[in-house]
Structure 1
Amino acid sequence: MGIHFGGDYNPEQWPEEVWAEDLKLMKAAHVTMVTAGIFSWAKVEPRPGQWDFDWFDRVMDGLAGAGIAVCLATMTASPPPWLSHAHPGILPEGPDGQRRWPGGRQHYCPSSPVYRAHAVRLVEQLATRYAGHPALAMWHVGNEYGCHTRQCFCEVSAEDFRRWLRERYGSVEALNAAWSTAFWSQGYGTFDEVLPPRTAPTFPNPAQQLDYWRFGDEALRACYLAEKEVLTRLTPEVPVTTNLMPQHKPVDAFAWAPHMDAMALDFYQDPHAPDDHIRAGYVFDLMRSARSGQPWLLLEQAPSAVNWRPRNGPKPPGAMRLWSWQAVAQGADAVLYFQWRQSLGGAEKFHSAMLPHGGTDTRIFREVATLGRELASVPDIEGSRSRAEVALLADWHSWWAVELDSKPSTALDHSRIALDHYRPLFEAGVACDVVPPQRELSGYRLVVVPNLYLLTAADAERLAAYVRGGGRLLVSFFSGIVDAHDRVHPGGYPAPLRELLGLRVEEFWPLEAGRTVGIGDGDYAGRADLWSEALDLEGAEALARFTDGDLAGRPALTRHSYGQGTVWYVGTRPEPALMRALLDDVREAAGAAPVLPGLPAGVQATVREGASGRYVFLLNHGASAVEVDLPEPLYDALAAADGPARTPVGRITLAARGVAVLTDG
């Protein structure tokens, strides 16, 4: 079948005579799959219970006739106006009590039984009608859950939250203990007294806020699961997914992964951010890792500019191809766009599309068609997998907790700090999985832990067991501080990790904005910012100390032998060059090597392996052409010639934004 290629298809925006042209041009662009119907609810159910699928039948039949598969959306992402008009209670409310009105999209309370009932009724109609249709290849439930309505704070949500709390805690006494309600006279007598963490005179209870993040995620997932149940019952042979968003705080990708037959992602790289490919790398690795290396789907990207940033720059020539191949290189088995044909009206009319306003005689369409042809030329990549020797831990519960208010510093940005730790691995060309702390770690040579503020005793013991067994671990500041209820672990910071790290954090010392501190007097020298800690060594050795500021002379970077392994601790945020030097040494000690040695700066290398052989991807994210020497001769998989006449090459020239796909077969 090969790597799927295509985009969102919204034929309801166009007169029917355009559809035949769409099919012809899709074939010219080598489209193999479209996502159809995402925003079609008002069209197929114009009035309550009045169904009009005839036009959509023709769309599906036309796509099937053209040999184009359909990832069929359940159409529930944006309720039609009649639903909120008849049932205004489905509309979401913010923490300030203000209602969010229709006129945009995603205007529903995730906990609303009325919304869910109408959504399930629609899905029953869809699944019954299109079960067995030759175009149907996959189901696409909802769309970008939590994108606009991250959480709802209305009375319907309040009652659903109370139900959730009863199931979680069993008794109000257990709730009071978990939430530390003895503080500020917050003790509850019954669950009926509990509210969502709405806008309050000062800091709402942090454990209550943390639980509301958990509840909000589960409420969104309950909408997804209600629809998936129908689809699985009526079309058990058709896989089901939904499109997640990158580094998306409301939706725990690891918790959703078991309920998705394939991970799927929308990712929009920013042409104005010169290193956004590193953020892409982190997110792509997380998608691949969420289902233990299974290939994933890039369901949306932009062919060029988007419409929703303050300044929407186009992708320069070659960037769309490079970034699309980056997704494939990091495990994607599909490359799709929003959208096929550029809209003439509506909020996204200036969002680029595969077929722009200017038609086929445009740079965008030519680049799209060229990429489609390239992807079609290497079908054996589909299903192949990557293997990593390094794991970086990520945990949504810790993310939710660390960014709550009333902390030593509110400048801790989970996503930024994760990238601070991922960047040195990416730039060194090291394959990396991004996994939750509950994952089995024994197969990794190195595990990196960025600021795991919330850490359960069980997960702390899992880290300790990994090091005792010979693992190499790097842990960064403000980790292991609180339990699952945002209560400080007793016994001194970081209590569950003190023995493992061989140190005690006597006091947190966050730095004011713009201030840096020096690190030196050891193998590592440079500057650091954001955070520092007063460390007392309890068996660890200092690799470097602070050279100025209030903590001058105290340890900044440490190393500790524990069992058969070693653990490093970073008590501040080193500047990028210093962090790279440290992680290079830690990697070397762990025996975690780059995919290819000696890569020029800016060149990314990845490997995918499958039954048909091994594929090596080289991607030049730099602005200049480079030469890459290969450790062994390989074949150029994208070369026009094939068969026995192919000649293996030992050196590759990569143009700026250039891509090479090499194979040993």
Structure 2
Amino acid sequence: MTLSNETTRRWLRRAGSARLEFGADYNPDQWPREVWDDDVRAMREAGVTIVSLAIFSWARLEPRDGEYDFGWLDEVMDLLHAGGITVDLATATASPPPWLTREHPEILPVTRTGEILWPGARQHWRPTSPVFREHALRLAGALATRYADHPALVAWHVNNELGCHNVYDYSDDAARAFRVWLRERYGTVEALNHAWGTAFWSQRYDDFEEILPPRLAASHPNPTQQLDFKRFSSDALKDHLRAERDLLRRITPEVPVTTNFMVMGEMKPMNYADWAAEVDFVSNDHYVLPGPQARDELSFSANLTGNIAGGEPWFLMEHSTSAVNWQPVNVAKKPGELARDSLTHVAHGADAVCFFQWRQSRAGAEKYHSAMLPHAGTDSDLFRGVARLGERLRELAPIAGSRRRRAAVGIVFDWESWWTAEQDSHPTDRLRYKQEALDWYTALLDAGIRADVVPAGGPLEEYRLLIAPVLHVVPAALAARLDAWVASGGHLVTTYFSGIVDENDHVWLGGYPGALRDLLGIRIEEFGPLLDGESVTLDDGATGTLWTDRIDVTGPDVEVLARYRTGEQADRAAVTRRRVGAGSAAYVSTRLGPDGLAGLLPRLLGPAGVTGELPAELGGRVELAIRGDHWFLINRTDQPVDLRALPGAPEVLEARGVAVFTN
């Protein structure tokens, strides 16, 4: 069932007018009743339009098995509605109450080493537990029945951050569900034996009942078993999402359903490109991670979220107003970063800007996590910054509902390559899939080039240039798709450890890069990973780390763009490009990082006819994103940037600032 566009955009509308939503998780059950009226008054002052409610309220809503207490939630819903604030109502199933785990300890997750994850934090439930599923659906049904017609309700929020802490469960429930999943995938145990290569190490199975999850073993578990368990674990959470969603749709068919993804950092276990079709609108949580590419990673993740959403507007469900509480050192945001972080998400398609949380907690594990209303209260720089952001979003209301303008360059992002390339028993365990993709994104930003981060199953053919870093898993169908696209005039760039295996993690034979070998016109007999501290120099002055390849040029029309100057491969090709009709296919055999890629990019962009849309003098100081007719200029620096070379833009873009104008 797919809801109409009008229905799925109820979260965008108020009194028939489109707007950018603004709000946060709201946890009134943490506070006495007299605080609630102050909350709504302060929300109106800040410009809040929507809150996510009851996310962690199961113990309050169902204090005992089958006994519900909705009185307090009724009052909060009515109070918010009277204040003109809409509600994204959670099903409250993210954290089971103490009575449930006491009566049914069999719902608790089990680690790969056999340890039980006990109550005391959150997400202490097995995604495949039938007992948990029964109780979760009962609660979700009771909430949906009670609030189906409440005027404040505009969306359902299934669970919360599915899989953040419990994605990999190795319990007996998981083992049984894994076997069912494998039967559906392979049909016969013979087909599974072939896919898993069980002839190795005497692992051949005679019956599905012999199969277990990849629990702690004496050595490396079967690689395809590990890959399939990752696929299964993502699917198990997706199945729980579907179960709650389907129940909500039966009871409230006109209310859209979402859940908050976590497209950020190294949060890789959930294949969100695969999940996107299961929700009525995509939502995402993002928190800035410290490091030299922190701001670029935010942009990268927002960009990817927009493309997971298929270019449709999406909902930023959580980010932080300032410091978080879960990093080793939690640094407050600098002036301007609150607005810049928020508006970068809007630039990449977000039609809602929300935070964790509204009022900063006095107690509990997240009491030092920033909020819209901090411990210091409304008389604080942070709250004043929040209110200014609310006003800015009201001014940007005409942007709501607009689509992102497609770029000429696409960076291919593939969850299965991410999972597989970083498994054990590989040439190196230092490889980081997302880091390589982020390096290319940063290099393009530095060059003033817009790029889309697009899932491997997305509309690849619409780009002039595709960059596919560490595209490790290449099924035959994807190889054929890339071959046809290049032959029709597309330009492909890929890197080391790409094209190596098929969907079963079986190596493509005949030499590397396997499925892409003929397209690239090169052949590699052995990998050349580098030790920690080792590096090589290329003849263009760039420095390579992590990896090298001994490349033999085998195809026609192959040009060597750069050679190794030092190392075991000195004088041999480091970067190649093969002309294929009007298209081309290039290969980069080492990790160059953003600085090293800067010198290479012009030679890759040129044949594709890709140029920057901003004046060259802006360099990489400004990121450009386009939604409809609106241009977003995002200052990537801590210094003002002169914009007078760009017609229609303001004269100066303040440090860490964002300018939005029509062009």
**TM-score interval, normalised by the smaller of the two chains:** over 0.9
Q: Tell me the CA shift for residue 591 of structure 1.
A: 1.9
Which letter maps to 1:49? G
Shift in CA distance, 600/559, structure 1 to aligned 2, threshold 3 Å? closer
Following the alignment from structure 1 to structure 2, what is the Cα–Cα distance between the partners of residues 595 and 144?
37
Choose from 310, 333, 341 the match for 2:351: 333
Shift in CA distance, 36/403, structure 1 to aligned 2, threshold 3 Å? same
Q: Deviations over 1:208-230 (max 9, x none)?
A: 00000000001111111100001
Following the alignment from structure 1 to structure 2, what is the Cα–Cα distance between the partners of residues 593 and 294?
26
Q: Which runs of 5+ in 1 are unaligned?
A: 635-650
Shift in CA distance, 630/141, structure 1 to aligned 2, threshold 3 Å? farther
- 8 A Cα contact 2:448 2:619, kept in partner: no
Choose from 530, 537, 550 the match for 2:546: 530
Following the alignment from structure 2 to structure 1, what is the Cα–Cα distance between the partners of residues 467 and 423?
23
Residue in 1 that maps onto 2:492: 473
Choose from 262, 272, 275 the match for 1:253: 272
Specify the SS of the correspondent of 1:470.
Answer: coil
Residue in 2 that maps onto 1:353: 371
Residue in 1 that maps onto 2:478: 459
Following the alignment from structure 2 to structure 1, what is the Cα–Cα distance between the partners of residues 21 and 367?
25
Following the alignment from structure 2 to structure 1, what is the Cα–Cα distance between the partners of residues 285 and 609?
34
Specify the SS of the correspondent of 1:334.
Answer: strand
Share of identical aligned residues, percent?
49
Choose from 159, 173, 189 the match for 2:206: 189
- The range that moved more, 569-578 or 275-284, is 569-578
Q: Deviations over 1:621-649 (max 9, x none)?
A: 21111101354335xxxxxxxxxxxxxxx
Residue in 2 that maps onto 1:496: 515
TM value normalised by structure 1 = 0.95
State yes or no: 1:140 paired with 2:139. Answer: no
Choose from 295, 303, 312 the match for 1:294: 312
Q: Deviations over 1:562-606 (max 9, x none)?
A: 132111110111142221221233223212232323224421121
Following the alignment from structure 2 to structure 1, what is the Cα–Cα distance between the partners of residues 317 and 309?
17
Give the 5 Å matches for 1:506-521. 506-520=525-539
Choose from 51, 59, 75 the match for 1:58: 75
- 8 A Cα contact 2:528 2:550, kept in partner: yes
Residue in 2 that maps onto 1:29: 46
Q: Tell me the CA shift for residue 296 of structure 1.
A: 1.3
Residue in 2 that maps onto 1:582: 600
Specify the SS of the correspondent of 1:632.
Answer: coil
Residue in 1 that maps onto 2:658: 659
Which letter maps to 2:270? V
Specify the SS of the correspondent of 2:128.
Answer: coil
Following the alignment from structure 1 to structure 2, what is the Cα–Cα distance between the partners of residues 629 and 211?
54
Specify the SS of the correspondent of 1:573.
Answer: coil
- 8 A Cα contact 1:90 1:109, kept in partner: yes
State yes or no: 1:103 paired with 2:120. Answer: yes
Following the alignment from structure 2 to structure 1, what is the Cα–Cα distance between the partners of residues 68 and 249?
22
Q: Deviations over 1:4-33 (max 9, x none)?
A: 001000000011111111110000000011
Q: Tell me the CA shift for residue 543 of structure 1.
A: 1.3
Give the 5 Å matches for 1:602-641. 602-609=621-628, 614-633=629-648
Which letter maps to 2:386? V
Following the alignment from structure 2 to structure 1, what is the Cα–Cα distance between the partners of residues 574 and 658?
40
Q: Deviations over 1:153-189 (max 9, x none)?
A: 0111101111111111111111111000000000111
Residue in 2 that maps onto 1:153: 170
State yes or no: 1:170 paired with 2:187. Answer: yes
Shift in CA distance, 528/511, structure 1 to aligned 2, threshold 3 Å? same
- 8 A Cα contact 1:95 1:153, kept in partner: yes
Q: Deviations over 1:351-400 (max 9, x none)?
A: 11111111111111010001001111121110111222211111111111
- 8 A Cα contact 2:436 2:593, kept in partner: no
Residue in 2 that maps onto 1:641: none
Specify the SS of the correspondent of 1:118.
Answer: helix
Q: Deviations over 1:93-142 (max 9, x none)?
A: 00000000000000001000111111111111111111121111111111
Shift in CA distance, 5/362, structure 1 to aligned 2, threshold 3 Å? same
- 8 A Cα contact 2:303 2:348, kept in partner: yes
Choose from 41, 64, 72 the match for 2:58: 41
Residue in 2 that maps onto 1:597: 615
- 8 A Cα contact 1:526 1:575, kept in partner: no
- The range that moved more, 34-43 or 577-586, is 577-586
Specify the SS of the correspondent of 2:643.
Answer: strand
State yes or no: 1:376 paired with 2:394. Answer: yes
Following the alignment from structure 1 to structure 2, what is the Cα–Cα distance between the partners of residues 43 and 332?
32
Following the alignment from structure 1 to structure 2, what is the Cα–Cα distance between the partners of residues 356 and 463?
51
Which letter maps to 1:420? D
Q: Tell me the CA shift for residue 415 of structure 1.
A: 1.5
Which letter maps to 1:448? I
Write out the 4+ residue segments of structure 1 that deviate beyond 4 Å after TM superposition: none
Which letter maps to 1:291? A
Shift in CA distance, 515/4, structure 1 to aligned 2, threshold 3 Å? same
Q: Deviations over 1:493-514 (max 9, x none)?
A: 1232111101111210000011
Following the alignment from structure 1 to structure 2, what is the Cα–Cα distance between the partners of residues 392 and 227?
33
Specify the SS of the correspondent of 2:193.
Answer: helix
Q: Tell me the CA shift for residue 62 of structure 1.
A: 0.9
Q: Deviations over 1:536-571 (max 9, x none)?
A: 001222111111111111110001011321111101
Specify the SS of the correspondent of 1:426.
Answer: helix
Residue in 2 that maps onto 1:639: none
Following the alignment from structure 1 to structure 2, what is the Cα–Cα distance between the partners of residues 443 and 352?
41
Q: Which runs of 5+ in 2 are unaligned?
A: 1-17
- 8 A Cα contact 2:163 2:237, kept in partner: yes
Following the alignment from structure 2 to structure 1, what is the Cα–Cα distance between the partners of residues 379 and 396?
26
- The range that moved more, 87-96 or 377-386, is 377-386
Specify the SS of the correspondent of 2:461.
Answer: coil
Specify the SS of the correspondent of 1:321.
Answer: helix
Residue in 2 that maps onto 1:305: 323
Following the alignment from structure 1 to structure 2, what is the Cα–Cα distance between the partners of residues 633 and 657?
20
- 8 A Cα contact 2:410 2:453, kept in partner: yes
TM value normalised by structure 2 = 0.95
Choose from 393, 404, 407 the match for 1:386: 404
Q: Tell me the CA shift for residue 418 of structure 1.
A: 1.3
Following the alignment from structure 1 to structure 2, what is the Cα–Cα distance between the partners of residues 566 and 525?
24
- 8 A Cα contact 2:487 2:583, kept in partner: yes
- The range that moved more, 220-229 or 430-439, is 430-439
Following the alignment from structure 1 to structure 2, what is the Cα–Cα distance between the partners of residues 526 and 273?
22
Specify the SS of the correspondent of 1:125.
Answer: helix
Choose from 561, 575, 581 the match for 1:563: 581
- 8 A Cα contact 1:595 1:607, kept in partner: no
- State the superposition RMSD in angstroms: 1.2
Residue in 2 that maps onto 1:277: 295
- 8 A Cα contact 2:283 2:315, kept in partner: yes
- 8 A Cα contact 1:281 1:426, kept in partner: no
Following the alignment from structure 1 to structure 2, what is the Cα–Cα distance between the partners of residues 258 and 575?
34
Q: Tell me the CA shift for residue 274 of structure 1.
A: 4.3
Q: Tell me the CA shift for residue 291 of structure 1.
A: 2.4
Residue in 2 that maps onto 1:646: none
- 8 A Cα contact 2:446 2:619, kept in partner: no
